[in-house]
Every structure is written in structure tokens, then in C-alpha cells.
Amino acid sequence: MGHWSDSLAVFDTETTGIDTRFSRIVTAYVGLIDASGGVTESAEWLINPGVEIPEAATAVHGISTQYAREYGEEPSGAVAAIAATLGQYFERGIPVVAYNASYDFSILHHEMIRHGHDPITSPRPIVDPLVIDRAVDRYRRGKRTLQMATAHYMVSFDDAHTADADAVAAGRVAQAIVRAHADALPQTAQELHDQQIVWSEEWAENFQAFRRGRGEPGFTASGEWPVRT
């Protein structure tokens, strides 16, 4: 019998900004990878978000307002399709990997509400390599970006900041973490989901204390995971 990480759905978005309550999805990717990290299923979206895409966001993902307006889908149907595709994987019991999942799942949550759709209720199991890596290798120096994670876990990563490349790379990092830290992880994806809720809260508490100790008494960090409502 194989391990739960032998088949993983992967999810990523590129957006108009960093505030999950107000930013809009511009591109999204949902796929499935096998035990070797090979892509076996995929779906992707280019969306006209209905607002101007800031130049800073375009500089990251390469999609301009003009391009999105000309070639993008209307957002209501697109975000509903993204949620439906993810829902099918959850219904099949397949874990969904998202690097910094509280960003992608939160922005999807608010997009669904914005367009009059019911958001995914308690999406699970989700696997967040960022949350897990912080917990199992707490004292490693350096940033915890996806690019740094792929380098540390020796995962090939090209075309950073495109939704498909980022999603697949995150899935392969998740598989590498499972191989490297199997003894520190729960046996099932459902148990891991619950453990990540705890780890996220602990990380936020520690980071908040650190920043306040560095002279920022009003600094706050949210540990709400995987959806910040």
C-alpha cells in the first residue's frame, strides 16, 4: 500500500496583490502529481479580474491589465470552476498542496463570496510545505520562500511566479519533506492537516513575540490556517 503523498493535488494562484480580502485572482492552476512528481492531470485559468492589475503585480507574474481583459475569462465562472476542481480532489480524498496555503485558499474564499458563490466549507486535507518546513526544520537559517525551499530540498524549479510551475514545485517539495522528515510527521494526511493548524498558530505566536521584542510593540501575526476569514 502506497503513502498518501504518492498522489497529490497541487494549487497556486497569481493575483493583483497581497491582501487576501481585496486582491483578485489573475491566474490559477490545479493539477495532480504522481509519486515521481510527474503531472498526470491539470487545469489552468487566466482571469480578467475586473480591476486594474498593479504594475508591481504584473512585474511578478507577467500579466498586464490589457492582456487579462483581452484573453481572460470572466471572474465569477472562473473562481467557481477553480473551487469545483479543488472540491473534486477533496471528495476523492486526495490532499491538496499549496505553498503558504493560507494565502491561496483565503483569496479563493473571498473571491467566491465576492461573486455570490458559497466558498468551500472546511477544505481538507491541505498540505502546506511552508508550515511543515518551519516546524520540522525550525532553526534553519535563511528565507522560507518557495525558491529557497526547492533549493534546500533539491527540487527542480523553473518559471517561478507562474501558477503552474509554482504549484507543481510546491507538490514536489511536499514529497521531498515527507521523505526527509517522515519520523516527524503524522501518519495520515488528515492528521497532518490538524497538526498544521497547531504549527501555524505556534509559528505566529513566536514570530509576533520576536518582532515585538525587536521594538515593534504593535506588531501582530495571524496563525489562522488554512483560510483567513
Query: pLDDT tens digits for 132-180?
Result: 999 999 999 999 999 999 999 999 998 888 999 999 999 999 999 999 9
What is the percent of the chain with per-residue pLDDT over 70, rounded to a whole number? 100
3-state secondary structure of 160: coil
Instruction: Write down the mean pLDDT value for the chain.
Output: 97
pLDDT at position 161, please? Answer: 84
Q: Which residues contact 62 (CB under 8 A, 6 or more apart)?
A: 161, 162
- What is the pTM for the complete model shown? 0.96
pLDDT at position 90, please? Answer: 98
Q: Do residues 13 and 108 touch, judged by C-beta distance below 8 A?
A: yes
Q: Among 1-5, 30-34, 222-226, whose mean pLDDT is lowest?
A: 1-5
Per-residue pLDDT, averaged over 201-216, amounts to 97
Cis-peptide into 217, omega within 30 deg: no
pLDDT at position 1, please? Answer: 61
Local confidence band at 72 (pLDDT 50, 70, 90 cut-offs): very high
**205 to 54, 97, 222: CA distances (angstroms):** 32, 24, 8
pLDDT at position 48, please? Answer: 98
Q: Determine which helix (DSSP H) or strand (DSSP E) holds 29, and give its type and residue range.
A: strand 25-33
3-state secondary structure of 25: strand
Sheet holding 39-46, edge to edge: 39-46, 25-33, 8-15, 96-97, 126-127
Cα-Cα end-to-end distance for the chain: 37
pLDDT at position 62, please? Answer: 96
For cell 471572474, name the residue.
75
What is the percent of the chain with per-residue pLDDT over 90, rounded to a whole number? 97
Task: In whole angstroms, give the CA distance from residue 65 to residue 49.
Answer: 9
CATH class of the domain whose range is 4-213: alpha beta
Task: In whole angstroms, give the CA distance from residue 23 to residue 107.
Answer: 7
Whether 104 shows a pLDDT value over 80: the answer reads yes
